[in-house]
Amino acid sequence: MKKKYSIIALLLLVLWSCTNKTKSVQDVMHPEDSLPTYLSLANENNLPLNFKQNYNQKALEIILNQKDDSISRVNLFKIANRYYNMSDWKAFNETTKLILERSKKSNDSANMAKAYSYLGDYYIAQSISDSAFMSYFKAEKLYLRLKDEYNIAKTFLNKASLQYNEGDFFESEINVFKALSSLKKQKNVNDLFYDSYNLLGILYNEREEYSKAQEFQEKALKVLEDKSIPSEFQCRATSLNNIGYIYSNKLDFRKAEKFFKEGLEQKNLFVDKTFLYAILLDNLAYSKFKLHETDQLPELFFKALKIRDSLGLKVAVVSSKIHLSEYYASKKDTLRAVQFVKQALNLSRTTTKLQSTLEALKQLAIVDSKNASTYSEEYIRLNDKMLKAERKMGEKFSRIEYETNEIKDQNSNLEEKNRALVYVFSICTLIGLFFYVYKTQQAKNRELLFKQQQQIANEDIYNLMISQQNDIEMTRIKEKKKVAQDLHDGVLGRMFGVRISLDSLDKIDEAQAAPKRKKYLNELKNIEEDIREISHDLNREKSELINNFIAILKKLFDNQKNTYNSKLITSFDPHIKWELVSNIVKINLYRIIQEALQNCNKYADADTITVEFKSEIDYLILSIADDGNGFNTKRTKNGIGLHNIQYRAKECKGTVTIKSAKGEGTVLIIKVPIDQKINLHKNDI
């Protein structure tokens, strides 16, 4: 595998080593004014840290006793800047949150955005990447609302920097180009152009696209030609180091050495950027080591290590000790090689950068061959862990943007575009309103038409039932005539003959009368049987008349059983006096059953459907149950089927109850009030 050159050193340098990541505010001194005096003293580099903290605290107390206005908030930012420069992170965080709270109360969007940016810087310093990203994202939304293109670009670069450090190179690249897009609309923003090109060069170098990396680093150097960026930021030295790093990755150490030397020659580098000076020293030493130039080695390595150690740069110290281990390993001094890399490994475990530990483990596996397998196993495990953490953090960044995305159109800053958007919105609103009114009227017309059609259907059904009732009545009259004829022509005539014959027995003696009386009694018995048969016929007719509605339902049920696979169970309470139930109720109940069965067939996928009529005091109960899919009654809006059922129940002055849950089937209960006479309980039989 191709060896990466001093990646840890790059991470120390990467993004903001040349611009304004260290906050600085130049204040005009007014000896008569204690606040500017304290602020100036708190920013004095030659004073001890505790003195500067004390002066900054006094300045803060003065501001807190003043009125909360825009000027006091500007002064609070000065306090925060000084705490940042002192690395007093707790005080910096507390001051920033105070500014944010006051800005929110005053609805000061500009200072709210700036405070969120400061919070992002705080979380970066504390290595809390997701909170930093969230803070920058909130700042971005506010700057977009304010159309502050400079700070929009700066926030994009902050996010890109954060994503780069977390290994999310693709999203980092996108945000850099977003920043460049914003910067093209502005003037005098060379500092951000430089940072953008510098970061793109670093990103492409990481992806081993070296020609692109060099192209953007050269663009960054070209930006420095107009001298608008202060020389104390040492941007040129930064770019020279990064170009040297590109050549190191290409294993062209001769050219890399040239750029590292040129970087070290920059004026006041040691004073302005001591840590950058140490990086260039270490990188130059490593290039010489790779070129087998032993002059100044290992002195350059030790010099860089001493500076880094004095600055408390743990990750950089790890890098220096790994390089020293490589150097002594090349000199066959295995003892010192192992000693330095073990020190690097132990120190790396106290940092949050897994990459440092991976570099140390890789070198340790090389110089300590006896335990190489152990170190390799740990390397593989930690590398997998780092890749998962990077992927997880990238997903978290995307989720933060997705869940809180309220970004408005970045190109709506021109007044003409704003007017056009208003016009388009107004036209769309009018069109939408027109369609809303049109659709609402259409819906009302459909509902009216549906009610009319339903009324016509009800009338047709009613007429059919009346016609059926008339046919039944005609049949009944015919049967009555037939019974009357049977009684008149058959029974009455025969009874009259028997009566005359019985009267004649009084005129003959008993001996002759006995056999005749027996004959006439048998005739009376036959007449009795005929009367009983006529009575049974009348009862059957009455039953048929009563059960006519049930017969209609049974025809519907037979059709259901013959057409669908679901098992249908029906039950009728024998105590219901159907002849007393109004035709309107019967029609609506029939239609409700029909609609319910249709819903079961279409949606329920049920194995068993149960239809049951029950009689309660003053109520007729229809229940239709299935063991099908069921549905959420709270979430599901009533379709036209359920609407029809409710409408028909209302026509009968009844109520509808639906009990259902997903996977637990459905129970539909219709409760219709009826005359108490219709209820026939057992105690009335």
pLDDT digits (tens, 9 = 90+) for 142-184: 888 888 888 888 888 888 887 787 777 788 888 888 888 888 8
DSSP string computed for 17-57: TTTTSS--------TT-HHHHHHHHHT-TTS-HHHHHHHHH
Average of per-residue pLDDT across 547-571: 84
Q: Are residues 402 and 515 in the same domain?
A: no
Question: Above 80 in pLDDT, residue 314?
Answer: yes
Q: How confident is the model at residue 490 (pLDDT cuts 50, 70, 90)?
A: low
Domain count, the chain: 4
Q: What is the pTM for the complete model shown?
A: 0.51
Q: How confident is the model at residue 31 (pLDDT cuts 50, 70, 90)?
A: very low
Listed in sequence order, the residues at least 6 apart from 613 whose beta carbon sits closer than 8 Å to its beta carbon are 571, 572, 573, 576, 620, 621, 622
Distance between CA 190 and CA 237 in Å, rounded?
17
Residue 288, judged by CB atoms within 10 A of its CB (0-12, 13-18, 19+), counts as buried
Q: Which amino acid is at 595?
A: E
Domain boundary among 365, 389, 407: 407
Instruction: Residue 593: give its domain's CATH number.
Output: 3.30.565.10
Which percentage of the chain shows pLDDT scores above 70?
76
Domain boundary among 146, 168, 197: 146
**500 found inside a domain:** yes
Average of per-residue pLDDT across 667-673: 92
Question: Above 60 in pLDDT, residue 445?
Answer: yes
**181 found inside a domain:** no
Question: Above 50 in pLDDT, residue 681?
Answer: no
**253 found inside a domain:** no
Q: Determine the pLDDT at residue 241.
A: 92
**466 found inside a domain:** yes
Q: How confident is the model at residue 418 (pLDDT cuts 50, 70, 90)?
A: low
| Dihedral sign, Cα of residue 248, residue 249, residue 255, residue 261 | negative
Q: Which two tokens stand for residue 107?
A: 């609805």
Q: Are residues 391 and 432 in the same domain?
A: no
**Which of 96-110, 388-402, 515-529 holds the top average pLDDT?**
96-110
Q: Determine the pLDDT at residue 568.
A: 92
Q: How confident is the model at residue 279 (pLDDT cuts 50, 70, 90)?
A: very high
Name the residue range of residue 634's domain.
Answer: 549-684
Q: Determine the pLDDT at residue 205.
A: 87
Q: Are residues 585 and 661 in the same domain?
A: yes
Q: Are residues 464 and 569 in the same domain?
A: no
Question: Above 70 in pLDDT, residue 233?
Answer: yes
Q: Are residues 335 and 398 in the same domain?
A: yes
Distance between CA 206 and CA 167 in Å, rounded?
10
Average of per-residue pLDDT across 416-438: 80
Q: Are residues 542 and 556 in the same domain?
A: no
**108 found inside a domain:** yes
**210 found inside a domain:** no
| Dihedral sign, Cα of residue 470, residue 472, residue 476, residue 482 | positive
Instruction: Residue 55: give its domain's CATH number.
Output: 1.25.40.10
Weakest mean pLDDT among 72-76, 110-114, 341-345: 341-345
Q: Which two tokens stand for residue 96?
A: 């920033």
Q: Are residues 422 and 541 in the same domain?
A: yes
Q: Determine the pLDDT at residue 608.
A: 93
Domain boundary among 389, 407, 425: 407
Which percentage of the chain shows pLDDT scores above 90?
8
Question: Above 90 in pLDDT, residue 670?
Answer: yes
CA distances from 523 to 192, 489, 517, 534 (A): 128, 16, 10, 17
Q: Determine the pLDDT at residue 669.
A: 93
Question: Above 80 in pLDDT, residue 353?
Answer: no
Q: Are residues 448 and 471 in the same domain?
A: yes
Q: How confident is the model at residue 411 (pLDDT cuts 50, 70, 90)?
A: very low
Q: Are residues 532 and 605 in the same domain?
A: no
CA atoms within 13 A on the CB side of 448: 6
Q: Are residues 532 and 576 in the same domain?
A: no
pLDDT in tens, 48-69: 888 988 998 999 999 888 888 8
Weakest mean pLDDT among 26-30, 185-189, 485-489, 650-654: 26-30
Distance between CA 495 and CA 501 in Å, rounded?
10
Q: Are residues 419 and 511 in the same domain?
A: yes
Q: Determine the pLDDT at residue 19.
A: 46
Average of per-residue pLDDT across 1-29: 39
Closest CA relative to residue 138, chosen from 443, 429, 480, 404: 404
Listed in sequence order, the residues at least 6 apart from 169 whose beta carbon sits closer than 8 Å to its beta carbon are 163, 203, 206, 207
Q: Determine the pLDDT at residue 424.
A: 83
**159 found inside a domain:** no
**246 found inside a domain:** no
Q: Are residues 372 and 426 in the same domain?
A: no
